[in-house]
Amino acid sequence: MELYVRSESVVSRVIAGETLIVPIRKGVGDLASIYSLNGVASLIWDVVREPRDYEQIVQAVQSEFSSEGAEVREDVKGFLQEMCALGLICPPAFGAAV
């Protein structure tokens, strides 16, 4: 079972209802990447504060937004893949302490 958790190499803040994520890296040029999350993405970001598996994340989205089906599952999967590729969400061994 693969778990997802926030990376320790980012900081995030909610400002005016919008979740912003800033990677913390060695070079000043790396600060050019600031990510803004919509409502669903913000919920997922909140859920992965602690290690969660894919099904737990899908259930949280379905519960919060009263929606079900393949579209929700695909959207969550796509978001997790994108966030992992950017290094913002990662397996617990490489992210936050479990």
CATH number reported for the structural domain that contains residue 77 in this entry:
3.90.930
Does residue 97 fall inside a structural domain?
A: no
Does residue 56 fall inside a structural domain?
A: yes
What total number of domains does the chain contain? 1
DSSP structure string for 20-52: EEEE--SSGGGGG--EEE-HHHHHHHHHTTS-E
pLDDT per residue as tens, the chain (98 positions): 789 999 988 999 999 889 999 988 665 555 568 899 999 999 999 999 999 999 999 999 999 998 888 999 999 999 999 999 999 998 765 444 33
Does residue 37 fall inside a structural domain?
A: yes
Domain containing 26 equals 3-90
Whether pTM > 0.85 for this model: the answer is no
Does residue 95 fall inside a structural domain?
A: no
In three-state secondary structure terms, 10 is strand
Does residue 34 fall inside a structural domain?
A: yes
Question: Which bin fits 17, alpha (ψ -120 to 50), beta or left (φ > 0)?
Answer: left
